[in-house]
Amino acid sequence: MEKFHLSQRLQHIANFLGDGRRIADIGTDHAYIPIQLAKDGLIDFAIASDVGAGPVAIATANVADNGLSTVIDVRLADGLAGIRPEDGIDTIFIAGMGGLLIQDILTAGLSYLDGTETLVLAPNRDDEAVRTWLAKHEFGILDEDLVEEQGHVYPIIVAGQTKPEVPYTEADLILGPVLRQKRSPLFLTELDKRIDKTAAVLKGLANAQAVPATKVADEQRRLALFQTERTAE
């Protein structure tokens, strides 16, 4: 039996289960999140799916070793294709991959959603792309948080298929509408890093030859956005 302990990041993601009792963990890898939620008695049923045969084999063994084969159904599937109407899934976790891949999974899997599911999305990069997709498809961002692990900061985005009350601004899509409201110390630290990084990019562009004016203007606009956000109350 493979021993496991949820990392700080995975535990933080799992904590966003909410009232869900029937979940799907897409790109499950070792099935750590559904196993932990099942062991804690927080779910009644889970799909643990992955596109790779290797992870599916490991997940299947982990589920069996923990005596959870009647609760967690491990499936070999691409994205959301492993979800069936009769599963009655209320919460979908997609974590441990880039935002562009999450975007692709959601686009390809829209037909597998019935509109009632809560999405718990934890991209390890390109979170702006995830929020842009959600806004385009009228998913409201219900909650957000940041978690730091081994020097890297990961966003967590919770969304539902309900049109946002107001359209998201560019600052919302880049920084996160809920994160902007919470203004946690970690959010402000990351914002300072964005300001420094963008200023450094602009300095580099100033010393470069034949730089497109649109590139410079885009970076200047983002820097102004970050600076305005930093001084906001």
**How does pLDDT run along the chain (233 residues), one tens digit per residue?**
455 678 999 999 999 999 999 999 999 999 999 999 999 999 999 999 999 999 999 999 999 999 999 999 999 999 999 999 999 999 999 999 999 999 999 999 999 999 999 999 999 999 999 999 999 999 999 999 999 999 999 999 999 998 887 899 999 999 999 999 999 999 999 999 999 999 999 999 988 888 788 899 999 999 999 999 999 87
Identify the CA nearest to 229 among candidates 178, 195, 201, 200. 195
pTM score: 0.94
Alpha-carbon span 138 to 167, nearest angstrom: 9
Alpha-carbon span 26 to 49, nearest angstrom: 5
So what's the pLDDT on residue 3? 55
| HSE-CB of 33 using CA atoms within 13 angstroms | 30
Note whether 34 and 69 are within 8 A (CB): no
Angle at 232 between CA 183 and CA 226, to 5 degrees: 80
Helical residues (DSSP H) of the chain, grouped into ranges: 8-14, 32-39, 53-65, 99-109, 127-136, 170-175, 177-182, 185-206, 213-231
Q: Which residue has the tokens 């929020």?
A: 131
So what's the pLDDT on residue 118? 97
So what's the pLDDT on residue 164? 81
Alpha-carbon span 59 to 68, nearest angstrom: 11
Q: Which helix (H) or strand (E) holds 225?
A: helix 213-231
* 3-state DSSP helix/strand/coil % of the chain, to nearest 5: 50, 20, 30
DSSP state of 85: G
So what's the pLDDT on residue 4? 61
Token pair in block for residue 93: 């976790």
